Amino acid sequence: MSLNFDSLFDDVELDFNCPECEFSFEVSIKELSKANNIITCPNCNVDIKVQHDASLDKLLSRCLIFIFEILYLI
Ligand SMILES: [Zn+2]
């Protein structure tokens, strides 16, 4: 069995709240990296620069724990 780390991260979606209109929407990590950490609010079309903040770090570390658990089960 082989693990595809890229596809694992593709499935992860982050919740965002637009600072302009407070519309909440989801962006996948894949889209985020493709867009160079700049996302566009689907409601008001404002560009939002995504900071690599603590919540993203927390989410990524949760993914790493998930990967570790899969490896452990194998
Ligand atoms: Zn907005």
Asked if residues 50 and 38 have their Cβ atoms less than 8 Å apart, the reply is yes
Asked if residues 9 and 3 have their Cβ atoms less than 8 Å apart, the reply is no
d(CA 31, CA 42): 14
C-alpha 24 to ligand 1 mean position (Å): 8
Query: Tell me: the pLDDT tens digits for 35-72?
Result: 888 889 999 999 988 766 666 667 777 777 766 676 77
C-alpha 34 to ligand 1 mean position (Å): 20
Chain centre distance of CA 30: 7
C-alpha 48 to ligand 1 mean position (Å): 9
C-alpha 1 to ligand 1 mean position (Å): 43
Flag whether pLDDT at 9 surpasses 70: no
